[in-house]
Amino acid sequence: MIIERQIAGARPGLAVDLTRTGAEWWRGAVIYQIYPRSFRDLNGDGVGDLAGITAGLDHVASLGVDAIWLSPFFTSPMRDFGYDIADFCDVDPLFGTLADFDRLVARAHALKLKVVIDQVYSHTSDRHPWFAESRSSLRGAKADWYVWADPKPDGSPPNNWQSVFHGPAWTWDARRGQYYLHNFLPEQPDLNLHHPEVQAALLATARFWLDRGVDGFRVDAVNFFMCDPLLRDNPPAPDDGRPKTRPFDFQSHVRNQSHPAIPGFLERLRGVLDAYGDRFTVAEVGGENALAEMKDYTWGGRRLDSAYGFSFLYASELNPGVVREAVSAWAGGAGEGWPSWAFSNHDAPRAPSRFAQSEAELGPVARLASLLLFCLRGNAFLYQGEELGLPQGEVPFERLQDPEAIANWPATLGRDGARTPLPWRAAEPFAGFSTVEPWLPMDRRHPALAIDLQEADPGSMLHFTRRLLAFRRSRPGLLRGELRLLEAPAPVLAFERCGEGERLLCVFNLGRGAVAWTPPAGAWRLAFTTGAAGSLPHALEPLSGYVLTR
């Protein structure tokens, strides 16, 4: 194999600013994402809660992850299941209280888990008191805290912008006699982050949670923070051959989002975090310019620390091209932030179901995808249930909860199927998630993959994940080394991870047939494999991965 291209961090230190030493806790961290509604229900109402999370942290810590990321648990009418926030600084009664949150953080820290929480600054709930005040008058103190606009002379919305979920991004408000902007649901009015007081209020929110002891933020929908103040129309999207499910897909989103002033706000946010020491920030960035924006939002060590996009979250297959393109484009080179990667989360169909071509492939694909994820350069997000190899849950139309899924059914991104309850104990009703019917149904295949059954089986995905994370932790080259893609004929993917005195060769057969393979010359030995431990193989089994060291 010939070294093709070096794509990351060629000169350590160059991208690191004065407040970052390169040895931060989060560099190379594995962060376990908890979706609170579906993790564990302790108070018996069918919806997960903070006490359930605290009780389940032993399981999370036993995996060997470094941190948890909690999706929103703040006061919310739950129209977008917590991403519509009515009070940024309190806990929704469905999930518990601030005291429950403090207990959760204390338990996590006792288990040596850092706590990262979601921050949603692009919009609030329409029940937030700021919105109530803003809609009440054209001249009040908060009149401009949201994006308001007069109708066109014919009464139609001020421009052609469409919401992500469905339909126009504008809703008429009879109280003000104006339209307000919502890039997501009508119940999620967009905050006007061009307004200095709005920025100050959001930074106060950040301080509130940092003072409570959180270790970092996942910053939601960052490129939606600011729109074009002139409210000019979006142009039509170029025809790239991709299916258009929603009106949103027909536009190029150059005006409703991604305003060049967004990084200035991120620098202010970073200023707040720097006063608290070693805290971590990761941006969620989607859309047509995600890569450029991930770099922009983390640029120069003065903005956010890291960002993740959707290259793996929405990929319909796992092939060498997808991986090569993703890691080449988001390499964390000089000046750029530190990469983060996610294969599954609460918005995307679970990875094994996207990447497997049959039910029989779900298990092998889950192992292969995990090994790949944990060999990449950057932070890895592990979504609850990924450690069990859960396939995407099946949710019949009558049980759908997600407004996006309902509006676009059957051509949906399937968010409900990724949010079904976590199976804890196979033999109990609802697999031990709750004592009553959960808010989303337990998938019929999930109890057989429950935590208790997998605990008892040393060959399970759960034990595989633990071994894999222990392996990753023991290899500084994997945690912080550079990544060099190697030439290899598809369906083989190969790269090296080098650094901290280590050199590791990572080889994957992403195809369905065995591939003859000559192990590299030298004193290489097999350090980790998706198959049975042993000596260096001379053929790569279908859907398999190997890490070699010397």
Catalytic residue ranges: 220, 284
Nearer to ligand BGC, 419 or 472 (CB): 419
Exposure b/e, 8-47, CB count within 10 A at least 16 = b: bbeeeeebbeeebeeebebbbbbbbbbbbbbbbbbbeebb
Asked if omega into 410 is within 30° of 0 (cis), the reply is: yes
State the nearest-atom distance from the C-beta of 435 to ligand BGC, in Å. 27
Query: Which strand (E) or helix (H) includes residue 84?
Result: none
Nearer to ligand BGC, 224 or 355 (CB): 224
The DSSP 8-state label assigned to residue 418 in this structure reads G
State the nearest-atom distance from the C-beta of 69 to ligand BGC, in Å. 11
The DSSP 8-state label assigned to residue 384 in this structure reads T
State the nearest-atom distance from the C-beta of 450 to ligand BGC, in Å. 26
3-state secondary structure of 372: helix
Give the residue among 503, 464, 465, 501 at the shortest CA–CA distance from 484: 503
State the nearest-atom distance from the C-beta of 424 to ligand BGC, in Å. 24
Interface with ligand BGC (CB under 6 A): 80, 83, 120, 184, 220-221, 284, 346-347
Nearer to ligand BGC, 346 or 354 (CB): 346
State the nearest-atom distance from the C-beta of 367 to ligand BGC, in Å. 26
Which residues, including other chains, have CB under 8 Å from residue 168's CB and lie 6 or more apart? Answer: 157, 161, 162, 247
Nearer to ligand BGC, 66 or 347 (CB): 347
State the nearest-atom distance from the C-beta of 270 to ligand BGC, in Å. 21
State the nearest-atom distance from the C-beta of 404 to ligand BGC, in Å. 7
| H helical segments located in 36-172 | 36-39, 50-63, 98-110, 129-136
3-state secondary structure of 132: helix
Which structure tokens are listed for 191?
A: 């905050």
Please report, as a single letter, which amino acid is at residue 473. R
Three-state secondary structure string covering 239-283: CCCCCCCCHHHHECCCCCCCCCCHHHHHHHHHHHHHCCCCCEEEE
3-state secondary structure of 148: strand
Nearest to ligand BGC by Cβ — which residue? 83
Nearer to ligand BGC, 176 or 346 (CB): 346
Nearer to ligand BGC, 313 or 388 (CB): 313
Which structure tokens are listed for 298?
A: 């983390």
Cα angle 345, 23, 57 (rounded to 5 degrees) comes to 40
Which structure tokens are listed for 47?
A: 């919806």
Nearer to ligand BGC, 123 or 377 (CB): 123
Nearer to ligand BGC, 286 or 432 (CB): 286
Please report, as a single letter, which amino acid is at residue 347. D
Give the residue among 161, 177, 157 at the shortest CA–CA distance from 169: 161
Place of tokens 């591939």: 515
Contact 273, 279 (CB under 8 A): yes
User: How far apart are the C-alpha atoms of 233 and 157, rounded to whole Å?
Assistant: 11
Neighbours of 59 (CB within 10 A): 18
Distances (CA, A) of 76 to 83, 91, 94, 181, 349: 8, 9, 9, 19, 24
Nearer to ligand BGC, 182 or 303 (CB): 182
State the nearest-atom distance from the C-beta of 187 to ligand BGC, in Å. 11
Asked if omega into 491 is within 30° of 0 (cis), the reply is: yes
User: How far apart are the C-alpha atoms of 342 and 26, rounded to whole Å?
Assistant: 15
